Chains A and B, each alone.
Chain A
Amino acid sequence: MIFLNSIWFWGAMAAVGIAVPVLIHLFSRHHSKPIEWAAMELLRKAMAVRARRVRMEDLILMVLRALAIGLIALAFARPSLTNLAPSRAKETVGTGVVIAIDGSFSMGHKPGVNSRFDSARQRVRSILDEMSPGDQVSLVLMGARPRVILRNVIYEPGRLDGELDQLAPLAESLDLAVCLDEVREIMKEIDLPGRECYIVTDAQATTWKNIPDTALAALQEMRKAGLVSLLPIESTSAENVAVTQLTASGIPREGSLVRYVADIHNTGTEAARDVTVRLMVDGVPVDKKVLVSISPGEILPVSLFARFSKEGVYVIAAELGDDSLEVDNHRYLLADVRNGIRVLCVDGDPSSEPFRSETDFLKAALQPGLMEQAGSGGIRVTRIPYGGLGRDTLQKYDIVILANLPDLPREDADALGDFVKAGGGLMVFLGDNTTHGKSHSEMRSADGKPLLPGQLLESAQTAASDAATATVWNIQTGMEDHPVTRALATLPKEQWGAIQFKQYIKTAPHEGARVLMRLTPGDDPLLLSHQIGRGQVLLFTSSADRDWHDMVVHPAYLMMVQQSVMSLSRKFHEVPSMVSQPLVFELPSADKSTSVKIIDPTGKESKVQVSGYEGRRAGLVSYADRPGIYELKSESGKFSLKLAVNVDSTESVAAVLEKQSLDEIANRLSLSVVDGENAVSGAVRTNRVGREIWRILIITALGLLVLESLLSKWLVRRVTDTPDDKHKTNRGTI
Chain B
Amino acid sequence: MQSENRKKLRYLDPEILQKIGSLELVAGQIVEGLRVGMHKSPIHGSSTEFKHHRAYVPGDNLKHLDWRVYARTRRYYIRLYEAETNFDATLLLDASSSMRYSSHHISKMEYAKYLAACMAHLIVKQQDSVGLAVFDDKLRSYIEAKSSPSVIRDIASALDQAQPEPRTNIEALLHDFAGRLRRRGIVLLFSDLFDSVEGFIKGLNHLRYCGHSVTVFHVLDPYELTFPFQGASRFKSLEGPDELLTDPGRIRKAYLSELEKYLTVVRKACAKVGADHVLVDTSRPIDETLSNYLIKRMRG
Contact = CB atoms under 8 A, between A and B. Distances in A.
Contacts of A718: 253
Contacts of B233: 32-35
Interface in B72-126: 97-101, 108
Contacts of B236: 34-37
Contact of B255 (A32, A38, A42): A42
Given A28-B232, A35-B229, A723-B226, A734 B281 contact: yes
A720 B249 contact: yes
A506 B98 CA distance: 129
Contacts of B222: 727
B168 to A, nearest CB: 10
A511 interface: no
B252 A723 contact: yes
In this complex, the member of A36, A39, A44, A731 whose beta carbon has the largest number of chain B beta carbons within 10 angstroms is: A39
A40 interface: yes
Given A38-B101, A38-B194, A727-B222, A33 B227 contact: no
B210 to A, nearest CB: 28
B47 interface: no
Contacts of B226: 723-724, 726-727, 730
Contact of B235 (A35, A58, A720, A733): A35
Contacts of B247: 54, 58
Contacts of B227: 723, 726
Contact of B194 (A34, A39, A727, A731): A39
A599 to B, nearest CB: 93
A92 B242 CA distance: 62
In this complex, the member of B194, B234, B281 whose beta carbon has the largest number of chain A beta carbons within 10 angstroms is: B234
B62 interface: no
B224 A734 contact: no
Contact of A734 (B97, B250, B262, B284): B284
Nearest to B224: A39
A50 interface: yes
A46 B101 contact: no
Contacts of B298: none
B281 A32 contact: no
A402 B90 CA distance: 156
A723 to B, nearest CB: 4
Nearest to B252: A720
Interface string A54-76: 10011000000000000000000
A30 to B, nearest CB: 9
Given A50-B254, A721-B253, A734-B289, A37 B281 contact: no
Contacts of A46: 251, 254-255, 257-258
B271 interface: no
Given A38-B221, A40-B242, A734-B284, A47 B251 contact: yes
B278 interface: yes
B237 interface: yes
Contacts of A54: 246-247, 250-251
Contacts of A36: 100-101, 235-238
A720 B253 CA distance: 4
Nearest to A44: B244
A113 interface: no
Contacts of B130: none
A155 B267 CA distance: 90
Contacts, number: 142
A45 interface: yes
Interface in A705-734: 715-716, 718-721, 723-724, 726-727, 730-731, 733-734
Nearest to B255: A46
Contacts of A468: none
A733 B245 contact: no
A716 B249 contact: yes
Interface in A268-321: none
B282 to A, nearest CB: 11
A726 B255 CA distance: 11
A38 to B, nearest CB: 4
A604 interface: no
Interface residues of B, number: 52
A467 interface: no
Interface string B29-66: 00000000000000000000000000000000000000
B252 A37 contact: no
Contacts of B231: 32-33
A498 interface: no
Nearest to B195: A41
A719 B279 contact: no
A727 B225 contact: yes
B244 A40 contact: yes
Contacts of A716: 249-250
Contact of A723 (B98, B228, B239): B228
Contacts of A721: 252-253, 256
Given A35-B234, A734-B278, A734-B284, A42 B251 contact: no
B254 A38 contact: no
Nearest to A57: B250
Contact of B244 (A43, A720, A730): A43
Contacts of B221: 38
B252 to A, nearest CB: 4
Given A28-B232, A29-B245, A50 B284 contact: no
B263 interface: yes
In this complex, the member of B232, B251, B284 whose beta carbon has the largest number of chain A beta carbons within 10 angstroms is: B251
Contact of A40 (B237, B259, B267): B237
A589 to B, nearest CB: 111
In this complex, the member of B246, B254, B267 whose beta carbon has the largest number of chain A beta carbons within 10 angstroms is: B254
A215 B23 CA distance: 112
Interface in A618-634: none
B188 interface: no
Contacts of A28: 232
Contacts of A590: none
Contacts of B141: none
Contact of A43 (B235, B279, B284): B235
A452 B274 CA distance: 140
A723 B230 CA distance: 11
B18 interface: no
Contact of A733 (B238, B250, B263): B263
A727 B97 CA distance: 24
In this complex, the member of A37, A41, A47, A716 whose beta carbon has the largest number of chain B beta carbons within 10 angstroms is: A37
A464 interface: no
A286 B299 CA distance: 127
A49 interface: yes
Nearest to B267: A733
Contacts of A37: 101, 235-238, 244
Nearest to B247: A54
A221 B280 CA distance: 91
14 contacts: A37-B238, A37-B244, A38-B98, A38-B100, A38-B192, A38-B224, A39-B98, A40-B238, A40-B240, A40-B242, A43-B235, A46-B255, A730-B225, A731-B225
Given A35-B234, A43-B244, 10 more contacts: A34-B234, A36-B101, A36-B236, A38-B239, A39-B194, A47-B254, A720-B253, A723-B228, A730-B279, A734-B281
The 8 closest A-B pairs by CB, nearest first: A38-B98, A46-B254, A46-B255, A727-B226, A730-B225, A38-B101, A37-B235, A32-B232
